[in-house]
Structure 1
Amino acid sequence: MSAPALKRSLVDIALEQIRQRIDNGTWPLGQRLPPEPELAEIIGISRNTVREAVRVLTFSGVLDVRQGDGTYVRACADPLAAMQALARSSVEQALEARGMIEIEASRLAASRRTEDDLVDLRVALAASAARSGHEDLEDYIVHDLAFHQRVVDSAHNPVLSQLYRYFSQVIRVGLERTISDPERPQPSFDLHRDLLDAIERQDADAAAAANRALLI
């Protein structure tokens, strides 16, 4: 006799129903979901259960609840699932993915940066430089990633910025392993200055090259 199937909770079923409709385009990115009573009727589950499912999807970044306006689709994929996959990646895989984001962002930053961006970049780089070579590795990494986040933000592409924020925790773990590894060559801090200089003079190729050198 086979073992009975595990009974799924009603919240799980509601989550699946909402995700399916997002995945198949019924509720595309930016779409406002039906009001809660209508949503409960569409899914065929109580309003309390639907409310809890919406709460879960809001926490994970899939939905955005705007007070007095409604609930909107914020992402077509669950960032928590993506983060779980990222957490299982190797250092080399993380560096490859980091390069795909940062190098293109550096190129865009050189073309799109504003004077305010340059001010923020200089402040972030100075804070990182002040911690370079110190024994507090974690403090240095936090400030190094803050500088790179500023570079990505200077591309003025909110998708890249948000993606890098999700990815930063995985990058942090990779940096802890690479920087503390005496067998790995460590990039010169001058490369960070080269990156900032290239962005300042709006040289996209030089910015991409400097960022690529930082990831070797």
Structure 2
Amino acid sequence: MALSAAGRTSLVDAVVEQLRAQLADGEWAVGDRIPTEHELADLLGVGRNTVREAVRVLVHAGLLESRQGNGTFVRSTADPSAVLRGMRHAGALDVLELRVALEAEAARLAAARRETHDLLRLRAALTTLREEGDRDADADLAFHLAVVEATHNRAFTEVYRFFSAQVHEQLVEALGDHAMPPVDLDQHEALVVAIEAGDARVAEEAARELLRVPMEVVAALTGGAR
């Protein structure tokens, strides 16, 4: 099915909606590479910059994935916007409880399934976290993503990627970076040690302990509101 040319008003939004519709209609399957910026610009009758911005919107939404040097690929044909809207209405404590559930199970699975390259990546992520400082959200997220990817469960990894950015945005919006406690580097170390040892029970407990203080802080700041 060919794309129809977009009008001149709200061009980026129009292109986003057309590409979103094409994905929902099955024009491209998950894993397919979509046409290049140049090809899409010709099909839609718009400039390449407009296409580039529209693609960025869909990458951020989790529908597309940009791979440097290879092109842009379909990550999902299901629009997650409804889920995102629901997340934004959730309270900070609700969001943290979701994070505990995901990360505790990830730690347990990682301890049972980790391979040598996973352990090396975890150590490297921990080193970066120590070097970047105990309030670097990006370094902390990279560490926890390394734990999740050590589960070797693709579905788990995709779900965590999808939700983790929303978790961080929700907490910052509700509380501000300054209100959150610094990252507990020693507890991160304890989690890595448990995964290295293959101790699933201790790894799960370490993951829960990592988030105990943030949950207590959030509960105190919000009065336990959800």
Same fold by TM-score greater than 0.5: yes
- Contact between 1:63 and 1:72, CA under 8 Å: does it hold in 2? yes
- Contact between 1:149 and 1:164, CA under 8 Å: does it hold in 2? no
Give ranges in structure 1 of 5+ residues lacking alignment. 1-6, 181-186
Change (3 A) 1:200 1:112: same
Question: CA offsets per residue over residues 56-99 of structure 1, 9 Å max, x none?
Answer: 24323143567897653234356888777656653212212322
- Contact between 1:101 and 1:164, CA under 8 Å: does it hold in 2? no
The count of residues paired between Structure 1 and Structure 2 equals: 193
Change (3 A) 1:22 1:127: closer
Deviation at 1:207, TM superposition (A): 1.7
Alignment-derived partner of residue 94 in structure 1: 95
Deviation at 1:55, TM superposition (A): 1.5
Give ranges in structure 2 of 5+ residues lacking alignment. 1-7, 213-226
Percent same amino acid among aligned pairs? Answer: 36
Deviation at 1:179, TM superposition (A): 1.4
| Mean Cα deviation higher: 197-206 or 59-68 | 59-68
Deviation at 1:126, TM superposition (A): 5.4
How many angstroms apart in 1 are the aligned matches of 2:131 and 2:10? 52
1:214 counterpart = 2:215: no
Change (3 A) 1:34 1:204: same
Letter matched to residue 147 of structure 2: V
How many angstroms apart in 2 are the aligned matches of 1:177 and 1:67? 36
Question: CA offsets per residue over residues 3-62 of structure 1, 9 Å max, x none?
Answer: xxxx9534433321220221243423223446737982xxxx42x25x455412432314
Alignment-derived partner of residue 122 in structure 1: 123
TM-score normalised to the size of structure 1? Answer: 0.62
TM-score normalised to the size of structure 2? Answer: 0.60
Question: Which is higher, the Rg of structure 1 or of structure 2?
Answer: 1
Secondary structure of the residue aligned to 2:105 is: helix
Alignment-derived partner of residue 158 in structure 2: 159
Query: 1:11-22 to 2 correspondence within 5 Å?
Result: 11-22=12-23
- Contact between 1:83 and 1:167, CA under 8 Å: does it hold in 2? yes
- Contact between 1:63 and 1:75, CA under 8 Å: does it hold in 2? yes
Letter matched to residue 149 of structure 1: L
